[in-house]
A and B are shown apart, each in its own frame.
Chain A
Amino acid sequence: MTTLTKTEDSPAPTGADPFLSVRDLYVRFSTEDGIVKAVDGLSFDLERGRTLGIVGESGSGKSVTNLAVLGLHNPKSTTISGEILLDGQELTGAREKTLERLRGNKMAMIFQDPLTALSPYYTVGRQIAEPFVKHTGASKREGRLRAVEMLGKVGIPQPQTRVDDYPHQFSGGMRQRAMIAMSLVCNPSLLIADEPTTALDVTVQAQILDLLKDLQQEFGSAIILITHDLGVVANTADDILVMYAGRAVERGSVKEVLQSPRHPYTWGLLGSMPRLSGDVEQPLKPIPGTPPSLLNPPPGCPFHPRCAYTGEVGGDRCSSERPVLPEGRGGACHLTAERKQSIFIEDIQPALG
C-alpha cells in the first residue's frame, strides 16, 4: 500500500532510527455486521526515554493499536497490515513465540484494571517474580528478592512482608503499584500503559503518574500512555498523538498541541473539558454528534459530519478528500495553516479560560 501514504503520513525524520516505529498500521475485525476498521492507516514513532500520550474518544482505536503492537489480537478474526518495528525488529506477522518472548521482557503493559491482570490465586510477589524468572533464568529465591525490591521501588510499605500477600489484600492503588512493579521487573524498554490511572482516585493517580515519570528517568523506558484525559497527558507526556476513527488527526509536542492545536477535533476535546479555573456560568462545549461507525466510516475527513468548519474549506472537499497528516508537527485538516491559527486564537482559546 502505498509508498505514497507512507511518505505523506509519517512523522518528521529524526536522524536516528526510532525505538518504536509504526507505519501504515491497519487493524480490521471481521464481525457479523461486516468489517470493523478499528485502525485505519496509523503511523507514529517513539524514542527511548520519551512518553507518547495517545488521546482520543472511546472507540477511536487506542487500545486496538497497542494490542497490535503487543501482538495480542486473535489472529482468527483480525487482519493486521503495516509495519511495527521495535528496535528494528518487525512485529507484524512475527511468530507467537517471538512475541511471547518480547512481552514482559522488552515490552510490557499496564492495564486499566489491575484485578483482571493479577491472578487472585497467587501471591503478589510470585506474580511479580514470574516474568523475571522466566526471562532471566533467575532462581526462585532471586525472583523473590527482585519482587521485594520492585515493591519497594513502587512505594509499597514493608515490601518484605507484603510480598506474600494476595492481590485482594491490597488496596486499589497498591494493586496498580504492584502491576507497575510487575511490568517493570524485566526493565522493559517499551512500556504501554492503557488508562493506567482511570480507575484510581486523583490523589493516587497523582502519585502513580509522578512515579511513572520518576521510574522512567531511572529505567529510560519508552512509554505509551493511553488516556482520554488531556490533563493526564499534559502532566506526564512529551508528545501527543490525537486519534479519531482509527487515524491520527494531530501530532506534536505536549506544548504545541495544548497551546496551539491544529485540528478541529482537538479544539473540540479542549473545549469540552471542565477546568478548575473555568467559568462555571458557561456551558461546556461538547463536540456535536457522535463518533462514527467504524463499519462504515465517513468518506473524506472522518470528522466532517461533526465539524463546524467544513464551509470554510469549500466545496465538498471535506467529505470527499481524505486530509493528510503532514510530517512531524501538524493536523490532518484541509484548513490552511493561517486559518487554523486565527480560528484557534479568535474563537477557541478565549473560551478555554
Chain B
Amino acid sequence: MSNDTTTATADAGTPLRDAVPGTALLEVEGLTKHFPIYGGFPVKRRVGAVQAVDGIDLAVHEGESFGLVGESGCGKSTTGRLLTRLLEPTGGRITYNGQDITHAGRKQLAPIRSEIQMIFQDPYSSLNPRQTVGSIIGGPMEINGMNPPGGREMRVRELLETVGLNPEHYNRFPHEFSGGQRQRIGVARALALEPKLIVADEPVSALDVSIQAQVVNLLQNLQRELGIAFLFIAHDLAVVRHFSQRVAVMYLGKIVEVGDRDSIYNRPRHPYTHALLSAVPEATVTAARDGEGRERIRLAGDVPSPINPPSGCRFRTRCWKAQDRCAKEEPPLIRLGGNREGHLTACHFPEEPTTAAREEDVILDPALLAAEKGTGAGSAGPVGKVDR
C-alpha cells in the first residue's frame, strides 16, 4: 500500500525534496509505524495493529519550518516521535544529515540527540511534579554541559520571561501553575538547548493568544536568525499558516495533501483540506456570521479507527465526493494538473482550488442536519442555507 504512494510520487517527477531550495536536513521515505494489539484468552496473541503512520514521505530542509496538521489520532505525534527516534519505526527510512538513523542505536544517536529537540503536547505529564521550574528548565543545560554567559540561573530566568512567566517563579513547582502556565515551562525547557531541528508537537496549543503570539514570534526568530528547522505539529491552522513555509495535511496515518503555504491555504484540492479550513473559527464578525466569504463544511463524526482503516481512500467514510472507485483504489499522492510544483494531492475526485463559499453548505453531521432542519426554517444565516 505504502509502495503505491511512493511510486506514484516518483512517477509524477516531483519528489518533495525539489519543492524548496536548500538541503534536506531530515528525510523520510515510506515511514510506517504499526502498534500491535494483543488480545485473546487464555493465551494472548497478536490480533491486529493500530496503523498509526502508514507510509509517509516528507523532507524538512535546513532552517525551514514544515507544518504538519490533521485531527487528533491521525498520527502527527507518532510521526514526531519516530523522527526523534523516541519510537522504533515498523518500516521506511529516516535520514538525518545524510545519515540513516532508521534503526540507529543509542550510541549512534548520542551525538544527534541534542541537535533534535522535542517540545511535547501534554503540559501535565511532561513536567516532573517534584522538580522546581528552575531545575526543569536548567536540567537539560546541566546534562549537556551548557554554561551560558551570566550563568544557568540567569538564562533560566530569561527563558521564563520569554515564554511569559514571571522570573520570580524560579523556585515554584508545576502544580502551582495553571494549565497554560505549565505549557510555557515545557517550551522554555526545549528552547534551553538551542538545537538544529525542533520537533514541536502542539507547542502553543495550550497557550493564550497573546502568549502564543510571543512564543510563535520567538520560535520564528529562532528559525530565521539561528537557522533552526522546525517540524511544527499543530491543529491550529492559522498558527501553522503563520509559521510554516510548507504544510502537510495528515489523515489516518497518511499524508493526503502537501505543498507550499499558499497552495494549501488558498488552492487546496483535497476535500479533507477544504473541510479542515472551513472549520476554523475566525474572529471576524462578517465572515463568521453572514456566511459570506468562506465555505462551510461540517463533517460527520470523528476520524475512524486506525485499527481497521477504510479500504482505498481513508477519507471516503466522511467524504461528500466519494464514489465506488474511492473504496477500491487508494489515491496516490501526486501533483494534479494545475497544481504548483511540490503541491501534491491524494484524491481521485479533487475539489476546485478555492475556499470561497459554495452555493450550498456541505453538512454531513446527522445531529446538525436534524437540528438545522428543525429550527432552520425561520432563521437567517448559514442555518437557513441548508434547505436551499
Residues of chain A at the chain B interface (Cβ within 8 Å): 57-59, 152-157, 171-174, 177, 200-207, 209-211, 214-215, 217-218, 228-235, 254-255, 258-259, 268-270, 272-278, 280, 283-287, 290-291, 293
Contact = CB atoms under 8 A, between A and B. Distances in A.
Contacts of B278: 206
B279 interface: yes
Interface in B232-277: 235-239, 241-242, 261, 265, 275-277
Contacts of B125: none
Contacts of B178: 58-59
B216 to A, nearest CB: 6
B79 to A, nearest CB: 17
B372 interface: yes
Interface string B203-239: 0000111111110110010000000000000011111
Given A273-B209, A274-B239, A276-B282, A214 B371 contact: yes
Q: How large is the interface on B (under 10, 10 to 19, 20 to 34, 35 or more residues)?
A: 35 or more
17 contacts: A152-B367, A171-B73, A207-B299, A207-B368, A211-B368, A232-B281, A233-B283, A234-B283, A235-B288, A235-B289, A272-B209, A273-B213, A275-B238, A276-B237, A276-B280, A276-B294, A284-B217
Contact of A214 (B72, B235, B301, B375): B375
Given A155-B366, A173-B302, A201 B235 contact: yes
B284 interface: yes
A172 B237 CA distance: 20
Contacts of A203: 71, 275-276, 279, 298-299
Nearest to B172: A33
Nearest to A256: B285
B140 interface: no
B298 A270 contact: no
A258 B281 contact: no
Given A275-B238, A290-B166, A209 B281 contact: yes
A306 to B, nearest CB: 9
B216 A274 contact: yes
B292 to A, nearest CB: 13
Given A202-B279, A276-B277, A214 B302 contact: no
B276 A202 contact: yes
A310 B261 CA distance: 39
B284 A258 contact: yes
B298 A206 contact: yes
A235 B281 contact: yes
The 5 A-B pairs at the shortest CB distance, nearest first, are namely A155-B367, A58-B180, A214-B371, A231-B281, A272-B213
A307 to B, nearest CB: 13
Contacts of A59: 178, 180-181
B371 A211 contact: yes
Contact of B210 (A231, A255, A269): A269
B372 A206 contact: no
A228 B236 CA distance: 14
B366 A157 contact: yes
Contacts of B71: 201-204
Could you say which of A202, A203, A230, A235 has the most chain B C-beta atoms within 10 Å of its C-beta?
A: A203
B62 to A, nearest CB: 20
Contacts of A232: 281
B356 to A, nearest CB: 12
Given A201-B235, A286-B214, A174 B302 contact: yes
A284 B242 contact: yes
B108 interface: no
Nearest to B221: A283
Contacts of B285: 234, 254-255, 258-259
A201 B377 CA distance: 29
Contacts of B211: 57-58, 286
B345 to A, nearest CB: 19
Interface string B351-388: 00000000000000111101110110001000100000
Contacts of A228: 180, 208-209
A210 B212 CA distance: 26
A172 B74 CA distance: 13
A234 B286 CA distance: 9
B98 interface: no
A162 B73 CA distance: 21
B179 A58 contact: yes
Given A214-B368, A218-B375, A232-B281, A201 B213 contact: no
B149 to A, nearest CB: 24
Contacts of A153: 367, 370-371
B13 to A, nearest CB: 29
Nearest to B369: A155
B302 to A, nearest CB: 4
A226 B164 CA distance: 22
A231 B164 contact: no
Contacts of A155: 301, 365-368, 370
Nearest to B242: A274
B333 interface: no
B165 interface: yes
A254 to B, nearest CB: 6
Nearest to A59: B178
A206 B238 contact: no
Given A258-B283, A284-B242, A269 B209 contact: yes
